Every structure is written in structure tokens, then in C-alpha cells.
């Protein structure tokens, strides 16, 4: 029995500890799931006295004129040996209840709540609302389904006026968690007794009534100790003829046992629920701590290894984007398949090679003297001026692919969970990758432009040889300088050049993507972080440490997660062992 209650208290302590760690959401769940015992009743009905005698210790403010206005949450912790001591709960946040822990070899493990006494009227100096305020506060404690209610009624008052019974019925109509305790039996008028009540005849409760005799005010004044008080209580029930037959289920000790037994059965019924609650929390904590990653290695080798490992994970993710395992790489194909062709189309070679422009360029190329055989220079200039414009779309494609690769680097960085932990490393890897991409972009630009320049610098002679020869015969050298060529001749030149330029353009449309993939995409896959790794090898140990500078908040979070995990795992082991031993 005690092991079970000990388990509960341990769990509760774990929760209190978690709550005290300043984690806003950690406290309530487990705490709320476990039962506690609250005493409720009118002022001076003997609430504190009952609690005290369950505990078997003098520690509560108690007696006439002493009114508790704040709930007192009392946790009893059984310790195997040593001196007993009390401890106020450390409460970082301001809260209404006072927490008090008692450690003693002489207690059973229990959590008890001493509630403020219910009143009927506000006394002088108190606001009118006090009656309701107290009632509401009391209700807020005892309405929780996991609260076991000790309803205290003094035997020397009419049971019909018992505030304790009234409010308990309200929150627990079936009486499944209410225990009626009758105090001050010794103070009843001569000739009257509480037998009818204690036997359940006057007022039936689900659980049998328990009568107690606490210390009187005079006893308190005389410092009668607990042991003596208990002995006297035992003697009272054993010797008073009216109660002799009830003696075995009367008194504070019996009340303590009943409470423990009840708690035990309640907790047993909750074990499966608790297990799943704890398991769920552990899974959550584990997944968060795996998101946060491992703590940093201490030696230089370990650090270097760690950095390489993390950076390789990033590199792998980046490659997956390019290879289509992850999304985004397809955008590159879109550049080749749509953007580049559309840009080439926008160059409008046909307009460039319209008759008037052809006339202008050919005439200019001839210079002061019209050509004799064919407008060779004119042809060349026409072709060159058209082809050179392809440089624009070529460069734009290189830049577009660069933009996509950069975006994929950023995406991959944010998808590398391991990098989240180390802001400095994250920044450096990002920089190194982007710098690499920039170098590749510059190379790629050179290569693409070179492809275009190559086309400009050497024309495919065969293309022109195969043309019908009459094209070259339209020139009329006898015309004046301002009328060297007739319109149809110029048109024919225009269309010849246009088909040549289109042919070359079609070739570039295929070769530019190849060059880009070769220089940028393939190269990024091959050597994105080569430079970074080379530099890394040259670094001093303390420099490596700087790269692994963790965000202090994350470090702290990891520590607190580990602490919580430890608590929950301990709780889990504990509760599992109880569940299996059932
Ligand atoms: P609370 O206000 O409900 O917490 O009541 P206390 O426990 O402080 O008790 C109020 C007064 O009643 C104190 O002087 C106690 O000594 C006295 N008292 C409580 N229970 C008994 C009892 O069973 N018998 C006698 N004679 N006095 C009691
Ligand atoms: Mg009290």
C-alpha cells in the first residue's frame, strides 16, 4: 500500500519540480490526474485538527481565533530514517495556495489540502463578498474529480446545518469521493450521542461516517502531545459504552488507514491512464530532444568530426533537391525548357533582318566603295550582330539557374535539423555554399558566352555554299551609291541570314543548357563545399569551437529536457513496475 502512495507522491513531486522549472505547460496535467485529499467544513469545525491527526504531527495553525484564508497544500513524504523536517514549496510564480512538504519517518505518503473554513456571515472588517469568495475557492478545489473530500462536521452542532455536507453533495452528489468525519464527539451535550449519525441512520453516506476526538483547546493550551492525544482517543471510543461497538472503525488512526486504502484503489484504477499520459509526454520530450540534437563534443577531433558530419547531411539534402528526391530541382529544367527558348524568341531575328535594316548594315559594311562580287562584309556583320544578341538570354539563363541553386542551398540549410543548433556553423556553411555557387556561375557565364562568341567568329561555310548561286547575282554595281541593292536582293539576303541565324540559335539552345549543367549543376553536386572543407582542415581547435557555438537558449532547453525526461522516465519505470506487480 505504501509503495503505491509513495509512487504517487514521487510523481507529484516530479510534477511540482517540473512546474518549478518555470515551464508553463508542464505542471498541471500529471498533478491534476492524481488524487489528493481536501478537508472542507465550517470555521472551527476541526479541519486542521483532523488533518493534523492524520499526519500525527503538530504543525498547522490551529485553534480558536485562527482562521486560514489561503488553502494549504500539504505533502507528506515518508523518509526511511533521519530527523523529520518541513519545507515550504519554492514557488516562482505567485499563486494562492501555500505549499508545505513534511519529510518524516512517521508519516504515510499523502497530499492533503487544508481549505479555509466556510462562513455564514462576514464579520466586522471583512467585505460582504467574503462568504461567497471562500465558498467559490473551496468549491474550485473539491469539484475536481480527483479530489477526495473529507467533509468535517462538528458533532455538537446540528448536522442539518453542516456546510461541509452541503457543499460536498453539490460537487459529489453520489458521494463517491466524500468521507464524512464527525468531530467534537466529546463535546456533545450530556445525554446525547452521535450513534445515529455514525451508523448512517441520521444521514446516509456512501462511505461510513468516521468519528474522531481531537485535542480540545484546553489540551492545546496544556501542550498535550499527539501520542497522548491518540491514546486518549482510542480509550475514549473503547470505553464509552455508546461507541464500544463502533470502536474498530472510529478514530484518527482508522481515518488515516481508510484514506490510504481509498487512495490506493483510486490510483490503481488510474494507472493505465497515467501510463499513457507519461508515455505520451516521454515521446514528446524525446522527439523534441532529438530535434535539438546532441551536445557538442569537447575535443578538437570530435568537433571536426561533428562539423563534417553535419555539413555532409546538409550536402546530402542539397543533392536530393537536385536529384528530384526533394522538390525544387525541376525549376532548373524549366529554365532550359521555357525561359531560354522564350528569351531567344524575343530576340526577333526576323525584325533585325528586315529589309531596311539589311540595307543599312550592308551599305555601312561596304564603306565608301560598293563590293564587287558579294557583300561578304555585309553578310558577316549581319550575322554577327544577330548572333551577339544571344549573349543576353545565355547570361540570363546562367543567372536564373544560379538563383535556383542559391534558393536550394537556403532550403537545404533550413531543412538540415542538425544545423539549427549551431547558428555560426549555419551561417558559415551558407556563405561557403553561396560563394562556391558564385564561382561556378562566373565560370558558367564565361563558358556560355564563349559558345556564342565561337559561333560569331567562324561561320559554317557549307551552309552558304549550298545556297542557289543566283542570290549573289542581284547586286547591280552600276547603280548609284544610294541605290546599290534592289529590294528583292536585300530580302533574299535577309532570309538567307535569318535561316542561318536560326540554325545557329537552335544549336545554342541545346548547347547552352549543357554548358550550364556542366559548369553549375554538376559542379555544385560535386564540389559545393570542397573549399569549405579545405579551409576547415586548417582551423585551430578554438576556431572549430566557435563554429559549434550553440544558441544558449537551446543549450538550456536541452538540459531542462534531459532533466524532465529523467523525471518522467523514472516515473514511468516506477509506475510500470507497479502495474506489472498488480
Ligand atoms: P478549523 O478551523 O476547522 O481548522 O478547526 P481547528 O482544528 O482549528 O479547531 C478549532 C477548535 O476546536 C480548536 O480549539 C480545537 O482544539 C477544537 N477541537 C477540534 N476538534 C475537537 C474535538 O474533537 N474535541 C474537542 N474537545 N475540541 C476540538
Ligand atoms: Mg484550520
Per residue in 58-110, pLDDT (tens digit) is: 666 555 554 567 888 887 777 778 888 888 875 655 577 888 888 887 766 67
Ligand nearest to the CA of 71: 2
The DSSP bridge partners found for residue 148 are 37
At a CB cut-off of 8 Å and minimum separation 6, what does 336 contact?
397, 513, 516
d(CA 166, CA 149): 12
SS3 340: helix
Distance 43 CA to ligand 1 centre (A): 9
Give domain 300-549's CATH number out of 3.40.50.2300, 1.20.120.1240, 1.10.760.10, 3.40.630.30.
1.20.120.1240
Whose grid coordinates read 537556403?
410
Q: Which three cell numbers stand for residue 392?
A: 543576353
Ligand nearest to the CA of 41: 1
Distance 117 CA to ligand 2 centre (A): 7
Residue nearest to atom 28 of ligand 1 (CA): 216
Distance 376 CA to ligand 2 centre (A): 116
What pLDDT score does 289 carry? Answer: 86
Residue 260 has pLDDT above 90, yes or no: no
The CA-based dihedral angle spanning residues 475, 481, 483, 487, taken in that order and rounded to the nearest 10 degrees:
40
**Residue 181: which H helix or E strand, with range?**
strand 178-183
d(CA 410, CA 421): 16
Instruction: Write down the mean pLDDT value for the chain.
Output: 84
Helix ranges (DSSP H) in 199-243: 217-221, 226-239
| pLDDT tens sequence across 284-316 | 999 998 887 777 777 888 888 889 999 999 999
State which ligand 1 atom lies nearest to the alpha carbon of 152: 3
- Relative to beta strand 147-154, strand 178-183 is parallel
SS3 99: strand
Residue nearest to atom 11 of ligand 1 (CA): 63
Whose grid coordinates read 468525519?
181
Distance 229 CA to ligand 1 centre (A): 13
Which CATH architecture does the domain made up of 2-289+564-577 adopt? 3-Layer(aba) Sandwich (3.40)
* Rounded average pLDDT over 153-169: 91
d(CA 505, CA 341): 10
Residue nearest to atom 13 of ligand 1 (CA): 63
d(CA 408, CA 150): 66
State which ligand 1 atom lies nearest to the alpha carbon of 50: 7
Q: Which of 214, 288, 243 has its CA nearest to residue 55? A: 214
Give 118-174 as a DSSP string: B-SSPPTTS-TTHHHHHHHHHHHHHTSTTEEEEEEEETTS-GGG-HHHHHHHHH-TT
Indicate if the alpha-carbon torsion angle 31, 32, 35, 41 is positive or negative: positive
The preferred substitution site among 164, 214, 236 for testing ligand 1, maximizing ligand atoms within 8 Å of CB, is: 214
Q: Are 289 and 281 in contact (CB under 8 A)?
A: no
| pLDDT tens sequence across 381-409 | 999 999 999 999 999 999 999 999 999 99
**Which CA distances in Å does 90 have to 97, 101, 240, 278, 392?**
12, 10, 46, 24, 71
Q: Which of 327, 330, 332 has its CA nearest to residue 514? A: 332
| pLDDT tens sequence across 457-483 | 999 888 888 766 544 444 454 444 445
Q: Which of 130, 75, 127, 68 has its CA nearest to residue 96? A: 68
**Residue 78: which H helix or E strand, with range?**
strand 72-78
Q: Which of 510, 502, 509 has its CA nearest to residue 463? A: 502
Instruction: Give the domain ranges of the chain.
Output: 2-289+564-577, 300-549
252-292 helix and 552-581 helix, angle to the nearest 10 degrees: 130
Q: Which three cell numbers stand for residue 385?
A: 550582330
Residue nearest to atom 10 of ligand 1 (CA): 44
Phi-psi region of 367 (alpha: psi -120 to 50; beta: other; left: phi over 0): left
What are the two backbone dihedrals, phi and then psi, of residue 80, each rounded to the nearest 5 degrees?
Answer: -70, -40
Alpha carbon 429 to its chain centroid, in Å, reads 25
Measured from CB, residues less than 6 Å from any atom of ligand 1 are: 41, 43-49, 62-64, 117, 183-184, 186-187, 212-217, 220
Rounded (5°) CA angle 83-89-95:
160
Distance 116 CA to ligand 2 centre (A): 7
Burial state string for 199-213 with b = 16 or more CB within 10 A and e = fewer than 16: eeeeeebeeebbbbb
What pLDDT score does 136 carry? Answer: 92
Per the model's pLDDT, the better-predicted residue between 94 and 247 turns out to be: 247
What pLDDT score does 5 carry? Answer: 61
Distance 64 CA to ligand 1 centre (A): 8
Residue 256 has pLDDT above 50, yes or no: yes
* Rounded average pLDDT over 175-188: 95
Distance 44 CA to ligand 1 centre (A): 6
Q: Are 166 and 181 in contact (CB under 8 A)?
A: no
Ligand nearest to the CA of 68: 2
Length of the chain (residues): 582
**Residue 73: which H helix or E strand, with range?**
strand 72-78
Distance 40 CA to ligand 2 centre (A): 10
**Which CA distances in Å does 13 have to 6, 90, 422, 571?**
10, 12, 34, 10
Ligand nearest to the CA of 152: 1
Q: Are 519 and 440 in contact (CB under 8 A)?
A: yes
d(CA 217, CA 537): 82
Q: Name the percent of the chain lying above pLDDT 70.
A: 86
State which ligand 1 atom lies nearest to the alpha carbon of 49: 7
Residue 554 has pLDDT above 70, yes or no: yes
What pLDDT score does 24 carry? Answer: 47
Q: Name the percent of the chain lying above pLDDT 90.
A: 46
Q: Which three cell numbers stand for residue 581?
A: 506487480
Question: 504: burial class by Cβ within 10 Å (0-12, 13-18, 19+)?
Answer: buried
Residue nearest to atom 26 of ligand 1 (CA): 216
Amino acid at each position: 500500500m505504501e509503495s503505491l502512495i509513495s509512487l504517487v507522491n514521487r510523481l507529484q513531486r516530479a510534477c511540482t519540480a517540473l512546474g518549478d522549472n518555470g515551464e508553463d505547460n508542464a505542471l498541471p496535467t500529471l498533478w491534476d490526474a492524481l488524487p489528493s485529499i481536501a478537508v472542507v467544513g465550517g470555521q472551527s469545525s476541526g479541519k486542521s485538527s483532523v488533518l493534523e491527526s492524520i499526519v500525527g504531527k503538530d504543525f498547522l495553525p490551529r485553534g480558536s481565533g485562527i482562521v486560514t484564508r489561503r488553502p494549504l497544500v500539504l505533502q507528506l513524504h515518508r523518509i526511511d530514517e533521519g530527523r523529520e523536517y518541513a519545507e515550504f514549496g519554492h514557488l516562482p510564480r505567485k499563486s494562492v495556495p501555500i505549499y508545505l512538504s513534511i519529510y518524516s519517518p512517521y508519516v504515510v505518503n499523502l497530499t492533503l489540502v487544508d481549505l479555509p473554513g466556510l462562513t455564514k456571515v462576514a464579520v466586522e472588517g471583512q467585505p460582504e463578498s467574503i462568504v461567497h469568495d471562500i465558498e467559490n475557492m473551496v468549491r474550485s478545489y473539491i469539484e475536481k474529480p480527483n479530489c477526495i473530500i473529507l467533509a468535517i462536521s462538528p458533532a455538537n452542532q446540528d448536522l442539518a446545518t453542516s456546510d461541509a455536507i452541503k457543499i460536498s453533495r453539490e460537487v459529489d452528489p453520489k458521494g463517491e469521493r466524500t468521507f464524512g468525519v464527525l468531530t467534537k464527539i466529546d463535546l456533545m451535550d450530556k445525554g446525547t450521542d452521535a450513534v445515529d449519525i455514525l451508523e448512517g441512520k441520521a444521514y446516509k453516506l456512501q462511505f461510513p461516517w468516521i468519528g474522531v476526538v481531537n485535542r480540545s483547546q484546553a489540551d492545546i493550551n496544556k501542550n498535550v502531545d499527539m501520542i497522548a492525544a491518540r491514546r486518549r482517543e482510542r480509550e475514549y471510543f473503547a470505553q464509552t459504552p455508546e461507541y464500544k461497538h463502533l470502536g474498530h472503525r472510529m478514530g484518527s488512526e482508522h481515518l488515516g488507514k481508510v484514506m490510504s486504502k481509498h487512495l490506493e484503489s483510486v490510483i490503481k484504477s488510474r494507472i493505465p491512464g497515467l501510463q499513457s499520459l507519461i508515455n505520451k509526454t516521454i515521446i514528446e520530450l524525446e522527439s523534441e530532444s532529438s530535434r535539438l540534437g546532441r551536445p557538442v563534443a569537447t575535443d578538437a577531433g570530435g568537433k571536426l568530426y561533428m562539423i563534417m558530419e553535419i555539413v555532409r547531411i546538409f550536402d546530402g539534402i542539397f543533392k536530393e533537391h537536385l536529384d528530384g528526391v526533394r522538390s525544387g530541382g525541376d525549376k532548373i529544367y524549366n529554365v532550359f525548357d521555357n525561359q531560354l527558348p522564350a528569351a531567344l524568341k524575343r530576340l526577333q531575328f526576323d525584325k533585325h533582318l528586315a529589309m531596311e535594316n539589311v540595307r543599312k548594315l550592308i551599305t555601312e559594311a561596304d564603306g565608301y566603295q560598293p563590293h564587287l562580287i558579294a557583300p561578304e562584309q555585309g553578310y558577316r556583320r549581319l550575322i554577327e550582330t544577330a548572333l551577339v544578341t544571344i549573349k543576353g538570354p545565355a547570361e540570363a539563363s546562367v543567372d536564373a539557374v544560379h538563383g535556383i541553386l542559391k534558393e536550394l542551398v537556403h532550403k537545404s540549410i533550413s531543412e538540415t535539423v542538425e544545423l539549427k543548433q549551431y547558428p555560426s556553423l549555419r551561417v558559415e556553411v551558407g556563405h561557403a555554399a553561396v560563394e562556391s555557387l558564385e564561382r561556378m556561375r562566373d565560370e558558367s557565364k564565361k563558358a556560355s558566352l564563349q559558345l556564342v562568341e565561337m559561333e560569331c567568329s567562324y561561320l559554317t561555310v557549307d551552309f552558304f555554299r549550298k545556297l542557289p548561286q543566283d542570290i549573289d547575282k542581284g547586286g547591280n554595281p552600276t547603280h548609284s551609291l544610294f541605290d546599290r541593292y534592289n529590294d528583292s536582293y536585300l530580302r533574299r539576303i535577309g532570309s538567307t541570314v535569318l535561316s542561318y541565324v536560326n540554325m545557329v540559335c537552335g544549336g545554342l539552345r541545346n548547347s547552352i543548357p549543357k554548358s550550364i549543367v556542366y559548369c553549375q549543376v554538376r559542379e555544385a553536386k560535386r564540389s559545393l563545399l570542397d573549399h569549405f572543407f579545405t579551409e576547415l582542415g586548417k582551423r585551430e581547435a578554438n576556431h572549430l569551437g566557435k563554429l559549434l557555438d550553440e544558441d544558449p537558449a537551446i543549450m538550456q532547453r536541452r538540459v531542462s529536457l534531459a532533466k524532465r525526461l529523467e523525471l518522467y522516465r523514472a516515473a514511468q519505470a516506477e509506475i510500470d513496475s507497479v502495474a506489472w506487480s498488480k
